[in-house]
């Protein structure tokens, strides 16, 4: 009798196991991550950010081409490309999409309001209308903002440190960026204590940039603060060239611009943001909702100086400032 019971129990166990196999296989299905990067495909900084994100995913147990597949598109901060690639990625029905910047988020939200979107580098996600608030994003989008308004005062301070003779500062900005007005107010508030006057330089097209910078440079003791935007990224080589031509000390947010020939930058460690981004993607892949994940602010900042750029405008950089730099390009 006991043997019969054991046989029935064994038969039941085997049947249950057979039924469970398809469920287990389904649970281990390969997941799909889309990436819409706001850089060109051959941009070294963009490639590094993508590589860091993939490496960080490994720490959470997600391996590309194993239990996850990553489809990447390079929008290069070009509106038409961003929208084209957003539609392509959404058509693949991924589990989550990573967005590199504001144009990427805008294009993706236009294409889907259901697929989770996690952004890595957005200036003012609330002002842009991407999320309801930093603490409670709502909807299908969350991520990491790479900007705090206190940066405006810090850029002014850094400009004074690297070029003490500067008394006039033009804030080069894209008027379409929602954070522009508040940022300008923050810079204005700090200017008197540093003996500086600031003016807004609203530009969009390359011709606007050239004419505005040339007009500003006619008066001595000028400097530039180049605020982050898609236009600043696309036209960075032009801005760097004009700064050299007119011998204008210029401060940027992104170290990648300094690596390309800009003078000095102070801003969030973008690589760290992409490393942290993997944690949010992991949580979404495991079932959490973007609406419940608060937008995170930067935790690490970096100061980069390009001494070649300083020599090009006949500027001598103090040893005290060089000692404080996280990166000095010779």
Distance between CA 121 and CA 126 in Å, rounded? Answer: 13
If one counts every other C-beta atom within 10 angstroms of the C-beta of residue 11, the result is 10
Do 137 and 105 form a contact (C-beta atoms < 8 A)?
A: no
Distance between CA 253 and CA 260 in Å, rounded? Answer: 13
Give the pLDDT band of residue 17 (cuts 50, 70, 90). very low
Domain pair 27-147+269-300 / 150-268+302-329, same fold: yes
Mean pLDDT of 151-170: 95
| pLDDT the model gives residue 25 | 39
Q: Residue with structure tokens 């504001």?
A: 102
Q: Which helix (H) or strand (E) holds 100?
A: none
Of the candidates 111, 76, 78, the residue with the CA atom closest to the CA atom of residue 97:
111
220, pLDDT greater than 90: yes
Can you name the CATH fold of 27-147+269-300? Rossmann fold (3.40.50)
For the chain, give the percent of residues with pLDDT over 70: 92
| pLDDT the model gives residue 4 | 45
Write down the pTM of the prediction. 0.80
Distance between CA 172 and CA 239 in Å, rounded? Answer: 10
What are the tens digits of pLDDT across the range 60-82? 999 998 999 999 999 998 999 99
Q: Please report, for the chain, the start and end positions of each structural domain, with discontinuous segments joined by +.
A: 27-147+269-300, 150-268+302-329
Give the pLDDT band of residue 119 (cuts 50, 70, 90). very high
Q: What is the CATH number assigned to the segment(s) 150-268+302-329? A: 3.40.50.2300
Label the pairing between strands 264-268 and 301-306: antiparallel
| pLDDT the model gives residue 175 | 85
What are the tens digits of pLDDT across the range 189-218? 899 999 999 999 998 888 889 999 999 999
């Amino acid at each position: 009798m006991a043997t019969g019971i054991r046989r029935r129990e064994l038969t039941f166990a085997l049947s249950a196991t057979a039924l469970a196999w398809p469920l287990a296989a389904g649970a281990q299905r390969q997941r799909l991550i889309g990436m819409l990067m706001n850089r060109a495909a051959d941009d070294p900084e963009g490639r590094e950010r993508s590589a860091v994100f993939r490496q960080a995913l490994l720490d959470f147990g997600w391996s590309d081409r194993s239990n996850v597949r990553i489809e990447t598109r390079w929008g290069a901060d070009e509106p038409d490309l961003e929208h084209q690639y957003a539609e392509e990625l959404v058509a693949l029905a991924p589990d989550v999409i990573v967005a590199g910047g504001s144009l990427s988020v805008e294009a993706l939200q236009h294409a889907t309001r259901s697929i989770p979107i996690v952004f890595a580098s957005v200036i003012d996600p609330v002002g842009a209308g991407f999320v309801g608030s930093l603490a409670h994003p709502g909807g299908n989008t969350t991520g990491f903002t790479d900007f705090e308004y206190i940066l405006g005062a810090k850029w002014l301070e850094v400009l004074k440190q690297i070029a003490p003779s500067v008394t006039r500062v033009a804030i080069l900005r894209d008027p379409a960026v929602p954070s522009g007005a508040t940022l300008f107010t923050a810079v204005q508030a700090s200017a008197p204590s540093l003996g500086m006057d600031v003016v807004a330089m609203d530009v969009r097209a390359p011709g606007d940039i050239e004419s505005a910078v040339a007009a500003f440079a006619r008066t001595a003791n000028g400097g530039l603060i180049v605020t982050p935007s898609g236009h600043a990224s696309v036209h960075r080589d032009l801005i760097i060239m004009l700064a050299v031509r007119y011998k204008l000390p210029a401060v940027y947010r992104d170290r990648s611009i300094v690596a390309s020939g800009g003078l000095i930058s102070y801003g969030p460690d973008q690589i760290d943001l992409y490393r942290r981004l993997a944690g949010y993607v992991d949580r979404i892949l495991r079932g959490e909702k973007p609406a419940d994940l608060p937008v995170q602010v930067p935790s690490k900042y970096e100061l980069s100086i390009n001494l070649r750029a300083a020599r090009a405008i006949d500027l001598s950089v103090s040893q005290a400032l060089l000692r404080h730099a996280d990166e000095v390009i010779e």
